């Protein structure tokens, strides 16, 4: 039989498949193009956080993970190892690959952990703790229901963002500190105060400045391991497929019950409404259930482009109504999907959520210069996993054995504190006066208003790192808060709330 002619479409598909398979180790993990984002890369603020959902089984043993041989350039870029996460679609665990992260100034990463729970296992989230806390963590009773309902005064200027109100512990009760407008910063993202639920109580994480997501580093795609793979002697996994920022923001969702962002095809879930547990990122704040720092900062940057918000919403609606316009769930299937549509001259915008490391991805905003990593440094970073695991294990042991841990989420209890192992993933000290500092590492001052009112139950009072004016780049200088005559809301003052245990 004469062979069939090979047309350009077939050739393109074969090339795409070969390129993808080059980054898909035979017999190794399957690279996914959907799933949770690494929580050290980004996490939404949930106004009324609750303990995470219980999954029906325990996670597998840890994966030996070595960072890739390339990393983004930057003063404070560190490797943060991966962890297991639950995949509802498959009813099983998948591996959230480690990431290269430009660490937020003045912060250290406290990793999350899995622990036994009635009916299975529960994930306790990680969080960015102040370096100045030196491992000291305060555990508070469950906060009252949030009173945040959005702005109560007109926006005083086009560059102002709304700071949501939040509860803060002071002496022996929770006090409400109202929201207010504050000046945004073009090169920074403000992450408002939040609470992290743990078996020992709620940890208050004060607000801090972080980098825009395109500047936070390199985030790698999650993978699915076959059980036999990770049980192989001396097996070491190195991620090689990067998530593109453009593809993420085109297909981004929030799952409040898990305190996480999800990317990829979750349109069917979100279309079911709030009961599904998934919310489109651009509608999260409108539903008054939390604050999305990523969307707030991007909307501010595109404030002079009214079509940007309309395009985000219209493309989302189109994908809800047209399954074929949604990104494929695996990296290999997505490469084939994109090449097929390109050959037909169809739009592929928003379909590429992943691309190989070192290859140009969709959108110029995701481009960042890479540099080689010395083998000795890679080995040191790989060995650092042991420290991260030790922090996870010690944190789990301390929090599960803490006083009131059995009723930390059901009954009022007095605050208590513990010291958890110091994380090695910590930002470098702020530069001293006279030292030149890179443009992107000079954070603005803490927004006016919250600086003067922090929870009083703290072992070591701390202040956010503030670069000296002589070393701050011009465009990163903190802007003055609008004058009182142009700002309808006075400087926020704490409003007393009754003590825990009473009706509210």
Task: Map out the domains of the chain as residue ranges.
Answer: 8-496
What pLDDT, on a 0 to 100 scale, did the predictor assign at position 9?
A: 40
**Looking at residues 63-77, what average pLDDT do you find?**
91
Tokens representing 190?
């403000």
Tokens representing 351?
């379909």
Angstrom distance (rounded) from CA 77 to CA 447: 25
User: Looking at 114-118, 175-179, 359-363, which range is the least confident one?
Assistant: 359-363
Angstrom distance (rounded) from CA 276 to CA 429: 43
Angstrom distance (rounded) from CA 223 to CA 94: 6
8 A C-beta contact, residue 147 and residue 492: no
Pairing of strands 189-191, 30-31: unpaired
User: Looking at 244-258, 471-485, 490-504, which range is the least confident one?
Assistant: 471-485
What pLDDT, on a 0 to 100 scale, did the predictor assign at position 79?
A: 95
Q: What percent of the chain stands above pLDDT 70?
A: 77
8 A C-beta contact, residue 220 and residue 331: no
pLDDT classification of 428: cutoffs 50, 70, 90 = confident
What pLDDT, on a 0 to 100 scale, did the predictor assign at position 316?
A: 94
Mean pLDDT estimate for the chain: 81
Indicate if the pLDDT at residue 504 is higher than 50. no
pLDDT classification of 30: cutoffs 50, 70, 90 = very high
pLDDT classification of 416: cutoffs 50, 70, 90 = confident
Indicate if the pLDDT at residue 399 is higher than 90. yes
What pLDDT, on a 0 to 100 scale, did the predictor assign at position 466?
A: 37
Burial class (CB in 10 A: 0-12, 13-18, 19+), 474: exposed
Indicate if the pLDDT at residue 225 is higher than 70. yes
Angstrom distance (rounded) from CA 354 to CA 121: 30
pLDDT classification of 440: cutoffs 50, 70, 90 = low
Tokens representing 12?
């393109």
8 A C-beta contact, residue 281 and residue 297: no
Tokens representing 333?
């299937």
Indicate if the pLDDT at residue 86 is higher than 90. yes
More confident residue, 3 or 215: 215
User: Looking at 193-207, 358-372, 428-442, 480-494, which range is the least confident one?
Assistant: 480-494
What pLDDT, on a 0 to 100 scale, did the predictor assign at position 47?
A: 96
User: Looking at 220-224, 274-278, 461-465, which range is the least confident one?
Assistant: 461-465
Closest CA to 43 of 134, 139, 141, 123: 123
More confident residue, 433 or 245: 245
83 Cβ contact list (under 8 Å, min separation 6): 95, 96, 111, 112
pTM (2 d.p.) = 0.82
8 A C-beta contact, residue 187 and residue 9: no
Indicate if the pLDDT at residue 491 is higher than 50. no
Cα→Cα distances 424→29, 134, 206, 243, 480, Å: 28, 11, 20, 25, 35
459 Cβ contact list (under 8 Å, min separation 6): 133, 136, 138, 417
């Amino acid at each position: 039989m004469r062979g069939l002619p090979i047309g350009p479409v077939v050739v393109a598909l074969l090339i795409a498949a070969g390129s993808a398979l080059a980054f898909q180790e035979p017999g190794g993990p399957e690279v996914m193009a959907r799933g949770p984002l690494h929580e050290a890369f980004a996490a939404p603020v949930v106004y009324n956080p609750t303990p995470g959902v219980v999954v029906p089984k325990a996670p597998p043993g840890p994966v030996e993970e070595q960072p890739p041989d390339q990393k983004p350039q930057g003063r404070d870029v560190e490797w943060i190892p991966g962890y297991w996460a639950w995949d509802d679609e498959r009813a099983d665990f998948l591996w959230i690959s480690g990431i290269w992260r430009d660490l937020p100034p003045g912060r250290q990463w406290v990793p999350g952990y899995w622990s036994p729970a009635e009916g299975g296992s529960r994930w306790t989230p990680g969080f960015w703790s102040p370096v100045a806390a030196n491992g000291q963590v305060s555990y508070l009773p469950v906060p009252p229901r949030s009173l945040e309902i959005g702005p109560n005064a007109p926006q005083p200027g086009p560059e102002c963002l709304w700071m949501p109100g939040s509860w803060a512990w002071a002496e022996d009760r929770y006090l409400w500190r109202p929201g207010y407008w504050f000046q945004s910063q073009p090169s920074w993202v403000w992450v408002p105060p939040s609470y992290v639920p743990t078996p020992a109580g709620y940890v208050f994480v004060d607000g801090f400045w972080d980098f825009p997501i395109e500047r936070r580093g390199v985030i790698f795609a999650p993978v699915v391991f076959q059980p036999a793979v990770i049980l192989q002697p001396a097996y070491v996994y190195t991620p090689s497929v990067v998530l593109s920022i453009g593809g993420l923001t085109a297909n981004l969702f929030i799952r409040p019950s898990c305190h996480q962002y999800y990317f990829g095809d979750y349109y069917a879930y979100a279309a079911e409404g709030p009961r599904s547990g998934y919310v489109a990122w651009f509608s999260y704040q409108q539903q008054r259930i939390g604050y999305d720092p990523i969307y707030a900062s991007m909307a501010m940057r595109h404030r002079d482009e009214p079509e940007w918000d309309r395009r985000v919403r219209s493309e989302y609606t189109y994908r809800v109504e047209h399954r074929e316009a949604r990104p494929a769930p695996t990296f290999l299937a997505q490469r084939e999907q994109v090449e097929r549509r390109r050959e037909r001259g169809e739009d592929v915008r928003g379909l590429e959520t992943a691309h190989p490391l070192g290859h140009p991805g969709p959108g110029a905003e995701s481009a960042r210069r890479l540099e080689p990593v010395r083998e000795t440094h890679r080995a040191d970073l790989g060995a650092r996993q042991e420290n991260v695991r030790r922090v996870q294990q010690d944190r789990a042991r301390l929090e599960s054995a803490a006083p009131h841990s059995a009723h930390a989420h059901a009954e009022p209890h007095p605050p208590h504190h513990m010291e958890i192992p110091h994380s090695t993933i910590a930002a470098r000290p702020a530069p001293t006066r006279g030292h030149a500092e890179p443009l992107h590492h000079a954070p603005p001052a803490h927004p006016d208003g919250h600086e003067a009112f922090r929870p009083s139950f703290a072992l070591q009072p701390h202040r956010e790192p503030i670069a000296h004016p002589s070393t701050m780049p011009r465009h990163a200088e903190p802007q003055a808060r609008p004058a009182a005559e142009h700002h309808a809301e006075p400087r926020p003052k704490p409003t007393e709330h009754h003590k825990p245990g009473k009706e509210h």
